[in-house]
Structures are given as C-alpha cells and as structure tokens.
A = this chain, B = another copy of it.
Amino acid sequence: MVMHNFNAGPSILPKEVFQEASKAILDFNNTGLSILEIGHRTPLFEGVLNEAVSLLKELMNLDSNKEVLFLHGGASTQFFQIPMNLLAEGKTAAYLDCGVWGSKAIKEAKLFGNVNVVASSKDKNYSYIPTGYEIPDDVSYFHYTTNNTIEGTEMHSIPQTNVPLIADMSSDILSTVMDFNKFSLIYAGAQKNIGAAGVNILVIDKNIVGLAGRKLPTMMDYKNHIENGSMLNTPPVFAVYVCMLTLRWLKKIGGVAAIEKINDQKASLLYNTLDALPMFNLPVAKQDRSKMNVVFTISDPEVEKAFLQTCKDNGMYGVKGHRSVGGFRASLYNALPLESVQALCDLIKDFAAKKG
C-alpha cells in the first residue's frame, strides 16, 4: 500500500532525503564510515554544518547581522531560553496568545519577568488570530507563533512593531516567502518542514544577545553558541545532517517561492474540497486558516470513527486530530506531494458520497 503521511510532526520528509540519509548511515561521502560515527570536530562534519548554515541564510535571504544556530532541544526549550536570555527581572515582554504552544511560551516567560498578553483568542478555542491590538514600545520584545499546529490557524502577515520581534516558526518555517530579516529571533524545533527531530534551528540578531544581562548557564547562553558556531558541545550530528539534506532539496526545487506555490495549491485543493461538503465542519476563521495544518471535524461520532478507519485502510497516515482537540488534522508540510493531497481529497469525496 502506498502511504500518504499527513502527520503533524515528526512528518514526511522528501524521499531523496530518506535515501541519502539511509546511505550515509552505512557510508558517509565514501569515507567508509557512518555519519553516526564521525567526529564532530572534523572537516567531514564541519562541512555538513557549514552547508546547513549557508543554505538557510540563502533560502531565507538573511542579512549579515543574523546568525544561524543548530541547538539541542525542541521549541519547548526556547520557551524558557528566550526570556532567560532576553527578559530581565522587572522588565516586561509582550506575547500574543494564539494557541497551546504560544500559551506555553507565556507560562515560561513569567518565570523570568513580567508578561503583557496583548491579545488572546482563547475565548473561541483559539479558532482565529486576534487583530487590533497594540504592542507597547517599552517592552523588551514581542513574541508570537506564526502557525498554530494544533488549532490550524496561521498569521498571514508580520505584526508592526518597534520592539524586537520574536517568532516561533516551528510548523511553517520556509513554507511562504516573507521578510525574515524583520525578526530579531526566529526559532523552529524540528521536525516538520525541516528534519529530523532532536534539533532546534535559531536565526538570531547578534545585537539582541545578552539583553537580559543575566548570569546564565554556559549551555543556555546564546552568546556562547554563536561564538562556538553551534559546536559548544557535541551537536545532534545526524539531525543536523538531515536538516542540511532537507535544505539542499528545497534549494534544488526552487527555494521558498517555488514551494509556496505548491503549498498554496495543496491548501486550496483540500479546503475547497471540505468547504463543498456539508458533512465536514471547519472551525477556523476563513482568513486565518493555516496552509500547513488543515483542521476539520465530523459531528456524528460514528461517522467520525468510520472516516478514520477509511483513512487507515487507504494508507492515509496521521489524519487524527491532536489529542487535545480531537477531530481531524491533515498536515501539508513542504515535503508532502500534491498527489497525496489529491488522494486524500478523492477519499473525502468518495466517503461523503457514500455516507452523506
């Protein structure tokens, strides 16, 4: 059975990335050694890391004051590492509360300073992105989540602000053309558009490092990681290697602009299919729909169960909604081919015709 992977993360990666990674575990670059057994302080791995850094700089079109880091941990580590580095005791940071992950980031920030939640969509189960809020000029930074993986909402423009802008882009990084240089800090926990799980990608403006003036553990201080080029200790070698392969693939197919076109096609196809069928409910406000995570439900629990079974029987993997919200979620990350979305749409239409 052909598998179609709609999982929210870890998620599908390009087929050639799997092939290349599998080969490198047996013999990396014809060295006779596995990528898993090479020293990290060798030209072999330094080549991998350097290529990953320059590919990301190129794909994001980054200014020269931006540093790219590959760190241990996931986005959840950044939830506290950011305020630890950038929010001094007694100072205030502004946060937008748009979903489960953003609210977790808020909780961690409160351990280090004051938090001003400028707006929240919690009143309607995070089914929309708030507008009309103001970001004060005297806060240390403004933090938001560009795409809410669980709730299926996405911010389609960059907020206007005069303070350092920080974004969790874990689930939509490199999916859409945007001015990445507007951000003082971007972070993305693998594995969604970039893999594999077990590494955290940071794009950081050198000028904001040390903003909190706090004495930090060595491994928590961005300054140390920048000075040591992500090699303060043994990095997650294989995860960095898979990131590099994913970035290489993205460049080859034409970069962010090219993948955005395909992502638009995929999202339109699925949303249009679902919109046309009364059996399916789409809880997210239309203008805030995510192009990465399409969330939908079926009201009748029996029909819901039958739909999940049909997905399973037809190799549609990972369509079940997040355990905290239920229903369904189809994730359409960069590596998911249009053909998989077409196959899911065909299944949806077929199912609705039979059960509708």
B10 to A36, Cβ gap below 8 A? yes
| Distance (whole angstroms) from the CB of A130 to the closest CB of chain B | 25
A219 within 8 A of B: yes
Which of A9, A37, A72, A111 gathers the greatest number of chain B CB atoms within 10 Å? A37
Which of A21, A74, A197 gathers the greatest number of chain B CB atoms within 10 Å? A197
A11 within 8 A of B: yes
Of the listed stretches A188-196, A255-263, A279-287, chain B binds: A188-196
CA distance A149 to B353 in the complex (A): 66
Of the listed stretches A50-58, A119-127, A300-308, A315-323, chain B binds: A315-323
A7 within 8 A of B: yes
Cβ–Cβ < 8 Å partners of A12 in chain B? 37
Of the listed stretches A86-94, A172-180, A231-239, A268-276, chain B binds: A231-239
A196 to B238, Cβ gap below 8 A? yes
A47 within 8 A of B: no
Cβ–Cβ < 8 Å partners of A234 in chain B? 9-10, 74, 189, 191, 197
A108 within 8 A of B: yes
CA distance A287 to B305 in the complex (A): 66
Partner of A5, one of B37, B76, B84, B236: B37
Of the listed stretches A38-46, A156-164, A290-298, chain B binds: A38-46
A13 within 8 A of B: yes
Number of interface residues of A (CB under 8 A): 66
A197 to B73, Cβ gap below 8 A? no
CA distance A21 to B22 in the complex (A): 8
Partner of A19, one of B26, B79, B199: B26
Cβ–Cβ < 8 Å partners of A199 in chain B? 198, 236
Report which A residues bind B (CB closer than 8 A): 1-3, 5, 7-13, 18-19, 21-23, 25-26, 31-34, 36-41, 72-77, 79-80, 84, 104, 107-108, 111, 189, 191, 195-199, 215, 217-220, 232-239, 242, 315, 317-318, 323
Q: Which 7 A-B pairs have the closest CB atoms?
A: A198-B236, A80-B217, A22-B25, A76-B233, A72-B73, A3-B32, A198-B198
18 CB < 8 A contacts A-B: A7-B37, A7-B38, A7-B39, A9-B234, A10-B40, A13-B34, A36-B196, A72-B73, A75-B233, A77-B219, A77-B233, A80-B217, A107-B218, A196-B237, A196-B238, A198-B237, A236-B236, A239-B239
